[in-house]
Amino acid sequence: MLIVMAGLPAAGKSSIAEGLGRVLPAPVVAVDPVEAAIWRAGVDRGQPTGLAAYLVAEAVADGVLALGQSAIIDAVNAVEAARRQWRALAERHQVSVAFIEVVCSDSRAHRERLERRSRGIVGFVEPTWESVQQRRAEYQPWTDDRLVLDSITDLATNVTKAREYLAIASQSSRPAS
């Protein structure tokens, strides 16, 4: 199965992805560290490094799925083109795809998380609240079925809800088409 996390920066998707990665187990392929590595390699930040990071994440997940294992994608996935990328990858491997969108219903808590967070990704500059608001404005509507989790709920509960959703999705869904 391909599990695709989605949501704005600092909404809580990486924490849930990591929790799922531990309990399933499944590798988490996160776009932010990939993009930071691209920058550390000397690629100018003015280049489309975000797109490049999504493509590298896709290549890594492709290899994981080829081994017959599940993979978890950790990325904002705010636009239909990104979501289509993951559906196509799942289809190529004839596995199901499950989308989990993480939101933070308390904008004050969301902003505080963003402003306090330091994930230790060498070379990665955390986005500003203003840039998160810009991304929110550009967030495209969903056409896929998905589980929506609110990160105001405690992490253990959200990971449990996600596991339950994935168990049902893996039994009831066919490979992406």
Decide if 166 contacts 92 (C-beta within 8 A). no
CATH of the domain at 91: 3.40.50.300
Residue 177, in any domain of the structure: no
Structural domain boundaries, residue 109: 2-172
Facing residues of 74 across strands? Answer: 5, 30
Residue 94, in any domain of the structure: yes
Q: Is the pLDDT of residue 170 over 50?
A: yes
118-155 pLDDT per residue, tens: 888 888 888 999 999 999 999 999 999 999 999 999 99
In this prediction, residues 5-28 reach a mean pLDDT of 96
Helix (H) / strand (E) containing 81: helix 80-93
Residue 95, in any domain of the structure: yes
Q: Cα(173)–Cα(23) distance, rounded to whole angstroms?
A: 21
Number of domains the chain is built from: 1
Its pTM stands at 0.93
Residue 145, Cβ neighbours under 10 Å: how many? 11
Q: What is the pLDDT of residue 175?
A: 54
38-92 pLDDT per residue, tens: 999 999 989 999 999 999 999 999 999 999 999 999 999 999 999 999 999 999 9
